Structure formats: structure tokens, C-alpha cells
Structure 1
Amino acid sequence: MSLISFDPDFNRFEQSVSRMFDDFLSDFGSMSNQTRSNRSNRSVTQSARPAVDVFEDDKALTIHAELPGVKKEDIHLDVSGNALTLSGETRQAQEFKDQNTHYQERRFGSFNRSFPLGDNVDKENVQAKFEDGVLSVTLPKVQQQTRKITIN
């Protein structure tokens, strides 16, 4: 196997912890609108981690990454050593400087995800396509060569 197996229990735990922090940081209730607006503007440029699904079958690994609002030319995909790195940038289409911000949950800025690759991945024939805000990366597996061993 090329990647660490998906563990739904750990994934639920990770999502719960992430939601806890988001809830904790989202609104302190007694803050003024100005303070909320300033805090929201700071969080907009934080690095975001695109959500991904990783699948494996006998022929390939497939990674689907959600990248809504990202332009194809702002996505970078690199294979180096035994890792696939997905990086890029989301850009804010317009700024709302003279308005009171009530919610600002969308994030803009750079993102970066790396995936360890096993020796059975054919790193020379990786294919990617970007459609409807989803990047699909196919990493074919190297066909195992069987050779007969002569016994003396």
C-alpha cells in the first residue's frame, strides 16, 4: 500500500477538534463589530488545507481535492522524491473595506498539501485534470514484474 490507510474514527476525531477550535475562535459574543471585522480580515489570509479524498485500487491511487474558486493556473502539482505536493493560491475577487463585516468565513491565500508516495507509484506517468472546482490526480502503480527463479 502506498499511503496510510484511512481511519474513519481518527478522521471524525480530527474533524471534531477542528470544529472545536473554529467554534472557540469564531465569536466571543461581547466583541464589538469593529473587533470582529478586524479579526475576520486577519483570518482571511490564513493558509487553508483543501479537503481531499484518496482512493486506491490495483492499478492506481486517485486523489480528489476540492478547490472551489481556484483558477487552474493558480494550482501547482509537483512530484519530488517520494512525495506529491499540491500547492496554490486562492484570491479574493473583491474587498469590502468600507462595510461592516458580519461573517467572513471564506479563506483566501496559499494552500499546501503533501502526500507520501510508495515505491510502487509510477511517478513519471502522473495525470491530473481540473473540472468544476475539483482536482483529480491519478498516480498509476508500477506493474510488478514476476520472474521465474531457477533452482540449482
Structure 2
Amino acid sequence: MSTKGDDQKKQSHKEDGSGRISFTDFFHGLESLFDTIVKLEEEGKRETRYEGEGSNPAGRFKTAFGFSVKTNLLNNLSVKSVEPANTVTQGPIIEAEREPFVDLFNEQDHVLLVIELPGVEERDIHTEVNGDIFILSTTYGDRTYSKEVILPGDADPDTMQKKYTNGILEIKMSKK
């Protein structure tokens, strides 16, 4: 049973286009799946198929999906992906480079960058400053990480100090 507040949350979620899924949305999806299984049981059916296509809220990625839900009087449940009947004109977009998580702290006397690079060796990390842009790049196995961060105008790249511990890179620069 949904309340007015639930309906408003769903509506605002759709309107803002954030693409974020809440735990409530996730569990409503599970509830819908279980309702489908019970309905199949009640109707004496053993299988139903779903096919379609969709895109993310920003419209950048298109995808096709298809799956079937099979029951054997609830003794054996299986959900299996199937090839969709529809084809999508644009294939998936896979980015070759990943962006690591970066936190920038603009303190009173210095700037601190904290960058997460799990499993990367320190010797493979390349950093440089070009004007007011901090540039990081590294390759670990088949993964390539890169990130550009705009520094505050008073950061002094000549005072850059690096510290790398357990996959966390800390870059500290004094202010001019």
C-alpha cells in the first residue's frame, strides 16, 4: 500500500532525472517480482517473458533487456536472461578510462587531495600540474585511471608533497 508521501517521492524521483534508486524502489521491484511469481502459480503457468528497451535518465545510454521467470509450483525458481527480440541501434558505451574517487580539501594554509587507487603500485602513478589543473594518470592491469582536478588559484605546485599508503594517495600543496 502506498501513501501520498511515497507517491510524491516517486514523482520527484522521476522528475529530477537523477537515476538514483533508493532502497524503497529496490524492494518495491523485488515485491513486484514476487507478485509475478505468485500470479503465475495462481494461473497455473510455469513461465512468463519480459522484453523491452530503455535508457538512463540522461538519455546517454540505451539498452535492450529480456528475461523470463519460470516456476515449478514454487519448488524450483529460476530467472534466466534471454536474448531480446528488439535490437537497439546504439550499442553500449564503454569508457576505457575510469575516474578514481578524489576529495579536495581547501584548508587555510594548504590544499590536500586524497585519491583512492586500490591495488595500484606507487611507481605506476603519474602526476603533474598544468596551470591550475592537477592531472593524475595510472594503469593497473587492464584498467586505466585518469583524473583532472581544478586547483584553487593560490595552490603552489612547487611545494607538492606525495604520500601513498594502502591504495590512498595524498597530495599536499602549500598556498602562495
Answer whether TM exceeds 0.5 for this pair.
Answer: yes
User: Shift of the alpha carbon at 1:75?
Assistant: 0.8
Alpha-carbon offset, residue 18 of structure 1:
7.5
1:117 aligns with 2:151: yes
One-letter amino acid of the counterpart of residue 132, structure 1: N
How far the C-alpha of 1:17 sits from its partner, in A, is 4.0
Q: Percent identity?
A: 26
2:164 alignment counterpart: 130
Q: Map 1:7-86 to 2 at 5 A.
A: 16-17=18-19, 28=65, 30=67, 31=81, 46-86=96-136
Which amino acid letter does the alignment assign opposite residue 132 of structure 2?
A: N
- Displacement after TM superposition at 1:132 (Å): 0.7
**Alignment CA distance shift 1:58-1:87 (3 Å):** same
Q: Secondary structure at the match of 2:108?
A: coil
Deviation at 1:28, TM superposition (A): 3.7
Larger Rg, first or second structure (1 or 2): 2
C-alpha distance after superposition, 1:60-99 (max 9, x if no partner):
11111110011111111101122110111121xxxxxxxx
CA gap 1:135/1:26 in 2 versus in 1, 3 angstroms? farther
TM-score by length of 1: 0.55
Q: Which runs of 5+ in 2 are unaligned?
A: 1-15, 22-54, 68-80, 84-92
**AA matched with 1:73:** R
TM-score (norm 2): 0.48
Match of 1:97 in 2: none
Matching of residue 140 in structure 1 with residue 174 in structure 2: yes
Amino acid in the other structure paired with 1:113: K
**Residue 106 of structure 2 contacts residue 152 of structure 2 at CA under 8 Å; is this kept in 1?**
no
SS at match of 2:103: strand
Equivalent residues, number = 105
How well do the aligned residues superpose, as a CA RMSD in angstroms?
3.5
Q: Is the 8 A contact 2:135 2:149 kept in 1?
A: yes
Q: Which has the higher contact order (CA 8 A, sep 6+)?
A: 1
In the TM superposition, structure 1's runs of 4+ consecutive aligned residues that sit over 2 Å from their partners are 16-21, 24-33
